């Protein structure tokens, strides 16, 4: 029997874009996509793809599906998990999904999983690099009524029993849980593998399976935002820098200490 894993992956603006190219349209409270810079798959979600691939590398019979919700997908970016070794790419692609909040994302993902499942294991990154909220996976586990373990850095599978290492501030916990199960994977897992030429060629021949909102049984009234953005803007920086100079390092240190004392910082 094939063990089915679904990995949730979000298309995000490239986090390596220089700050000077990051712009916001305050009239619509939205981020303006930088010209000439294509979006990418959220890096934390690629950690989750890598976790699924490592389970399959251990010799298990596993099918890996990558699922994403949104609109105007850049297929070159979204096919990267396929080039890494995932089996399927499923997209819920609809113009109505361009500006949805976390609650609506959870609703659409749960509907897509119900349509395309069942899955034995649901994986996602610890958070998305655009909003850094980490709401979606937690909300999805709640809606699906499944147990959730977060911040996983290592996992092993034996039948339907998963043994996990969960990152905590002073080390890690070892947890065992039965599938079906929802996990968030952290970057402590290690770098995702780089797609090789064979994987890239295979991914180029695969077609994404595309659903609309209607295909998963939802309408525009089902994705009305619960979160209202009042104002989105780039904060202005008014910091001033004062250089403390002395005759030598000891003198500079003494003057710095006196200045900090004057400011009541020490």
Q: Which residues, at least 6 apart from 162, have a Cβ–Cβ distance to it below 8 Å?
A: 121, 155, 156, 176, 177, 178, 179, 181, 183
pLDDT value, residue 88: 97
Higher-pLDDT residue of 136 and 21 is 136
Domain of residue 168, CATH code: 3.40.50.620
pLDDT value, residue 111: 97
228 belongs to a structural domain:
no
Query: In the chain, what is the straight-line distance between the N-terminal and C-terminal CA atoms, in Å?
Result: 65
Q: Which residue has the tokens 């995932």?
A: 86
pLDDT value, residue 229: 86
- What pairs with residue 157 in β-bridges? 162
229 belongs to a structural domain:
no
260/53 Cα distance (integer angstroms): 52
pLDDT value, residue 31: 84
The pLDDT > 90 percentage for the chain reads: 70
- Yes or no: say if 113 and 144 are a contact pair by the CB < 8 Å rule: yes
The whole domain housing 266 covers 236-266
Kindly give the residue spans of alpha helices, DSSP state H, lying in the chain: 43-57, 75-78, 80-84, 102-116, 136-144, 197-205, 249-262
102/105 Cα distance (integer angstroms): 5
Q: Are 242 and 155 within one domain?
A: no
Region 23-29: what's the mean pLDDT? Answer: 86
Q: Which residues, at least 6 apart from 64, have a Cβ–Cβ distance to it below 8 Å?
A: 5, 6, 7, 49, 52, 53, 56, 85, 86, 87, 88
- Sign of CA pseudo-dihedral 13, 14, 18, 21: negative
Confidence band, pLDDT 50/70/90 cuts, at residue 259: confident
Higher-pLDDT residue of 50 and 259 is 50
**pLDDT at residue 44 above 90?**
yes
Q: Are 98 and 163 within one domain?
A: yes
Q: Are 143 and 265 within one domain?
A: no
Q: Is 36 exposed, middle or buried (0-12, 13-18, 19+ CB in 10 A)?
A: exposed
pLDDT value, residue 104: 95
DSSP assignment letter at 54: H
31 belongs to a structural domain:
yes
Q: Which residue has the tokens 């979000």?
A: 10
**pLDDT at residue 50 above 80?**
yes
138 belongs to a structural domain:
yes
**pLDDT at residue 237 above 80?**
no
Q: Are 41 and 112 within one domain?
A: yes
107 belongs to a structural domain:
yes
**pLDDT at residue 115 above 90?**
yes
- pLDDT tens digit sequence for 173-202: 999 999 999 999 999 999 999 999 999 999
142/102 Cα distance (integer angstroms): 13
- pLDDT tens digit sequence for 79-96: 999 999 999 999 999 999
Mean pLDDT value across the chain: 93
Pair type for strands 30-32 and 40-41: unpaired
**pLDDT at residue 245 above 90?**
no
Domain count, the chain: 2
pLDDT value, residue 238: 75
pLDDT value, residue 185: 97
64/59 Cα distance (integer angstroms): 14
Q: Which residue has the tokens 């619509």?
A: 28
Region 16-34: what's the mean pLDDT? Answer: 84
- Yes or no: say if 34 and 21 are a contact pair by the CB < 8 Å rule: yes
pLDDT value, residue 197: 95
- Yes or no: say if 101 and 227 are a contact pair by the CB < 8 Å rule: yes
pLDDT value, residue 241: 80
- Compute the CA torsion angle 98, 102, 108, 110 (nearest 10 deg): 160
45 belongs to a structural domain:
yes
Cis peptide before 132 (omega within 30 of 0): no
Region 16-23: what's the mean pLDDT? Answer: 84
């Amino acid at each position: 029997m094939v063990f089915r894993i679904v990995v949730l992956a979000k298309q995000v603006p490239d986090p390596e874009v220089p700050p000077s190219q990051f712009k916001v349209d305050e009239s619509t409270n939205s981020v303006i996509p930088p010209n000439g810079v294509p979006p990418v798959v959220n890096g934390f979600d690629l950690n989750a793809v890598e976790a699924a691939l490592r389970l399959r590398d251990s010799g298990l019979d596993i099918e890996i599906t990558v699922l994403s919700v949104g609109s105007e997908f850049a297929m070159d970016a979204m096919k990267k998990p396929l080039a890494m070794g995932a089996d399927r790419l499923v997209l819920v692609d609809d113009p109505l999904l361009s500006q949805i909040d976390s609650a609506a994302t959870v609703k659409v993902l749960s509907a897509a999983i119900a349509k395309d499942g069942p899955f034995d294991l649901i994986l996602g990154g610890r958070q998305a690099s655009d909003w850094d909220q980490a709401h979606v996976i937690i909300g999805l586990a709640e809606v699906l009524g499944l147990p959730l373990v977060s911040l996983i850095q290592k996992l092993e599978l034996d039948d339907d029993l998963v043994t996990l290492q969960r990152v905590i501030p002073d080390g890690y916990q070892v947890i065992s849980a039965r599938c079906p199960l929802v996990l968030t994977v952290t970057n402590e897992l290690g770098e995702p593998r780089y797609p090789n030429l064979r994987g890239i060629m295979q991914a180029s021949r695969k077609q994404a399976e595309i659903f609309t909102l209607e295909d998963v049984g939802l309408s525009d009234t089902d994705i009305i935002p619960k979160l209202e953005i009042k104002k989105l803007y780039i904060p202005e920086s008014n910091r001033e820098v004062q250089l403390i100079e002395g005759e030598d390092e000891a003198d500079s240190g003494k003057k710095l200490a006196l200045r900090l004392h004057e400011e009541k910082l020490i």
